[in-house]
Amino acid sequence: MIILGIETSCDETGISIYDNKLGILTNKLFSQNIIHTKYGGIMPEIASKNHYKKIFTVLNQALNKSKKKIQDINIIAYSAGPGLPNSLLIGTTLAKSISLIYKIPSVPINHLEAHIMSIMINKDKPNFPFISLITSGAHTILCIVKGYGKYKIIGQSLDDSAGELFDKISILLKLKLPGGKYISKLSKYSNKNLNFPKPLINKNTLNFSFSGLKTHIFNYIKNNKLNFNNKANIAFSLQESITTILVEKIKLASKKYKINNLSIVGGVSSNNYLRKKMYNLIKFNKNVFFNPKKLCTDNAAMIAYTGWIKYSLDKKIRNNLKIDIKSKWKINEKF
Ligand code: KG4
Ligand code: ZN
């Protein structure tokens, strides 16, 4: 089976061709990071316009690279939410048009579920049940994955997400998007830990809160000179606080639910410092799973793969052209 994956939930235009026997044939991405850096954050109108401008080129590139034609596709999987409504509509319209014209079944995919499932694309993957920490630009969610499509949310951010903090502080430090990537690069030049707060770290809860840390850093920046050295120290200390919080919460979840298979997915999971801290847990008999970097940040391969799983397991989900987008769509909620 050949699956076409389409991702346009935020600012990345992704098209992937996935073969259920051979794996990912191609995973193409057009990133709008440079465009949105100019505005200090993602501008929804500009994101959807750029999806529209680029999606046909990216589709052609993906088909050419995998040496496939539209007629070779057996299933179309597309991000139907959560995300920016006008961005989701571009990918959804493309999916439904191809589906209608070529009579190919189409499957709406929950973008967050696709992040969770992305870990299963790899050869080295966790057995069920495992704990998944989704840490992306918009979400920080801890859940137990009991099986395909079986998710129990056990914690989440009460305010900002970890990725949002990386992005906001990065703009204040005059760095580029994606913030986490550039904060991580700059942190290597730091010579001092500024000991920023780590909200909820010692509390017996699996929820997260990052807004206090954000306000603390806003005030620090207001009251201190921003030379290169100080910027590097802010970058290091922010990364230190966020990664410590993430690791401590996943450790607590592992202890509470007695589950030793731990995975971290989503854009923030590409952070090397976080990976190093997590791999330290192997000493304590934890099995730690990360994606290759291309599967951490938004991509269409995870959509195609999840589409294949959904198509195989749930006959009702196929080819319903009446299905709308769902810009607010919880992981454990049916479409
Ligand atoms: O999963 P993703 O691509 O998009 C969403 O679904 O939101 O995640 C984007 C987030 C951004 O907040 C970005 O700053 C963060 O991932 N990110 C990183 C790194 N690369 C991207 N955070 C920390 N370290 C990185 N190397
Ligand atoms: Zn995402």
pLDDT in tens, 200-210: 999 999 999 99
| Pocket mutation for ligand 1, best pick of 29, 31, 166 (most atoms within 8 Å of C-beta) | 166
Instruction: Give residues (CB < 6 A) around ligand 1.
Output: 10, 136-138, 163, 166-167, 178-181, 184, 266-268, 270-271, 297-298
Percent of the chain with pLDDT over 90: 96
- Ligand 1 atom closest to Cα of residue 112: 6
pLDDT above 80 for 185: yes
Average pLDDT over residues 270-288: 97
Ion ligand 2: residue ranges with CB closer than 5 A = 136, 298
| Pocket mutation for ligand 1, best pick of 268, 277, 293, 298 (most atoms within 8 Å of C-beta) | 268
| Pocket mutation for ligand 1, best pick of 167, 290, 297, 331 (most atoms within 8 Å of C-beta) | 297
pLDDT (0 to 100) of residue 211: 97
Question: What is the average pLDDT value for the chain, to the nearest integer?
Answer: 96
The 3-state secondary structure of the chain, one letter per residue: CEEEEEECCCCEEEEEEEECCCEEEEEEEEECHHHHHCCCCCCHHHHHHHHHHHHHHHHHHHHHHHCCCHHHCCEEEEEEECCCHHHHHHHHHHHHHHHHHHCCCEEEEEHHHHHHHHHHHCCCCCCCCEEEEEECCCCEEEEEEEECCEEEEEEEECCCCHHHHHHHHHHHCCCCCCHHHHHHHHHCCCCCCCCCCCCCCCCCCCCECCHHHHHHHHHHHHHCCCCHHHHHHHHHHHHHHHHHHHHHHHHHHHHHHCCCEEEEECHHHHCHHHHHHHHHHHHHCCEEEECCHHHCCCCCHHHHHHHHHHHHHCHHHCCCCCCCCCCCCCCCCCC
Average pLDDT over residues 102-130: 97
pLDDT (0 to 100) of residue 319: 64
Kindly report the protein residue whose alpha carbon is nearest to atom 8 of ligand 1.
267
Ligand approaching nearest to the C-alpha of 161: 1
- Ligand 1 atom closest to Cα of residue 83: 6
- Ligand 1 atom closest to Cα of residue 139: 7
293 Cα to the center of ligand 1, angstroms:
10
Ligand approaching nearest to the C-alpha of 269: 1
pTM of the full structure:
0.97
pLDDT above 90 for 316: no
Which pLDDT band holds residue 334 (cuts at 50, 70, 90)? confident
Which pLDDT band holds residue 133 (cuts at 50, 70, 90)? very high
Average pLDDT over residues 108-119: 97
Average pLDDT over residues 48-64: 98
